[in-house]
Amino acid sequence: MLRHRAVISHLRQACSFQSVPSRLCIRACSTNDSLQPQCPRLAFSGDNSSPRGWRVMGTLLGLGAVLAYHDHRCRAAEKSPHIYTREEVRSHSSPETRIWVTLGCEVFDVTEFVDLHPGGASKLMLAAGGPLEPFWALYAVHDQPHVREILAQYKVGELSPEDKAPSTLQTSDPYADDPIRHPALKVNSQRPFNAEPPPELLTENYITPNPIFFTRNHLPVPNLDPETYRLHVVGPPGCQSLFLSLDDLYQFPKHEITVTLQCAGNRRSEMTRFKEVKGLAWNTGAISTACWAGARLCDVLAKAGHQLCETEAHVCFEGLDSDPTGTAYGASIPLARAMDPEAEVLLAYEMNGQPLPRDHGFPVRVVVPGVVGARHVKWLGKVSVEPEESYSHWQRRDYKGFSPSVDWDTVDFDSAPSIQELPVQSAITEPKDGETVQSGEVTIKGYAWSGGGRAVVRVDVSLDGGLTWQVAELDGEEQRPQKAWAWRLWQLQAPVPAGKKELNIVCKAVDDSYNVQPDTVAPIWNLRGVLSNAWHRVHVRVTP
């Protein structure tokens, strides 16, 4: 390029450029049509037959030859990418040999990207030396234009057209057998399916109807045969394991409880508006309440020979949903909670008087009252007692809270405890943000809940952004001390201040330990957007 500039500088002294004054147009190696060359006409100053004129012409011809050769090389590179066989790609499956993957017929060297992968290096390494398609089919969020643009930077060639993909790579859609969902659900992701009910339906009933109960799936929904289903309960040393059918579980005393489930990411979208986080953009609907029925976990563990011990222990749950590598969803809770009859942990097989819907864990799921939804493992396949908590990714590398100062370059997941009980929470479901209300009187509705069985004792509501407050009326079932497993619905009918053209409605809940929600997101922001429980705010307009 420096040589080009020197030649152009010299030419300017002897030439005048018409149409494109004082500029030499060079075609770059690009598919962008805007970079196609313009062809200036040259007119030499002075006598064209002079030696100086011929020297300039020779220089131009030499430069033209160089540029033409460069253009030829670029076109050749565009037309003839390096061709690799699948066997060659398979040989690049470690940092030592470099890490290659394929997508369609293209080959990519992603060695430098592995440690930058948002889902962790280990997830990307599952595809090392092979195709991305099975994993993109499972985590469809990858199939986005900006992700493909990032991947394109690492392209090194293409697969040989003669090298046909083995039949094992002709994977079917893992989500093709997912159940049909209610159209009212607001979908946050299709694959895996995650959706919440609209706020106006969420608190229409104290018990959430099964079809609009919020759905949080991490993997495809398994289609299990209740006749052949067996729950593997690992016994302690010296005892045999249990393999329980549904009929076997029915023989245990049936226990029923009303429990609210809330995702750790409920209201994450509010954190995102403050500062970007990674995770599904849940609004206020990643929470629902149902009446669950099943066998107490403590009864089943006792049947298998387990008992409380003085040393730390955890009950680990493994689901029957899995990714292409066979890795299942897993989680754990402390053994002390699992063995406590008062904690009422269930192996549930009914939801609101019906067999569990497939999206909610049919035929058996765990229900852990007062604990984050991530520990309520669905499609339960295995229960074991271990000296440490589950080694599942979702127990060790997710669902943890961090300081606002921690980012993805400094986060240390081993330094933070796994979320179990959730903080006090409330939200407004009516009116909706941006809605127009009539002057005179406004009706405000919402929900409130706190983790760990702590009862909600009060909900405060403000119409002026928190300057003045009124106490809402609590509805729903009375809550038992230390066993307040379900939410309280609330409402407030309040006069609209005269002359007001808009209202900034705010709510905050207080539980029986006098925990209260923080007023803003800033001090509780974290990189995963979990535990979002700041005052909920709704802005509405008032018509005369």
Active-site positions read 117, 142, 216, 263, 399
Contact between 127 and 135 (Cβ < 8 Å) = yes
Peptide bond into 134 cis (omega under 30): no
Rg (CA), the chain: 32
**Partners of 262 in the beta sheet?**
287
Q: For residue 58, what are its two tokens?
A: 């020779």
What one-character-per-residue DSSP string does 312-334 give? --EEEEEEEEE-TT-PEEEEEEE
CA distance 505 to 537: 6
What one-character-per-residue DSSP string does 455-511 give? PEEEEEEESBTTSS-EEPEEESSPPPTT---S-EEEEEEEEPPTT-SEEEEEEEEEE
Chain CA centroid to CA 204, Å: 28
Through-space distance between the first and last CA atoms of the chain, rounded to whole angstroms:
70
| DSSP single-letter state for residue 395 | H
**Partners of 367 in the beta sheet?**
346
CA distance 72 to 74: 5
CA distance 154 to 186: 36
| DSSP single-letter state for residue 3 | H
CA distance 287 to 267: 10
What one-character-per-residue DSSP string does 112-158 give? GGGGG-TT-HHHHHTTTTSBSHHHHHHSGGG-SHHHHHHHHTTEEEE
Chain CA centroid to CA 261, Å: 18
Q: For residue 68, what are its two tokens?
A: 């033409």
CA distance 180 to 357: 11
- DSSP, collapsed to helix, strand or coil, labels residue 446 as strand
Contact between 476 and 436 (Cβ < 8 Å) = no
Q: For residue 108, what are its two tokens?
A: 């990519």
| DSSP single-letter state for residue 351 | E
- Half-sphere CA count of 481, side-chain side, radius 13 A: 0
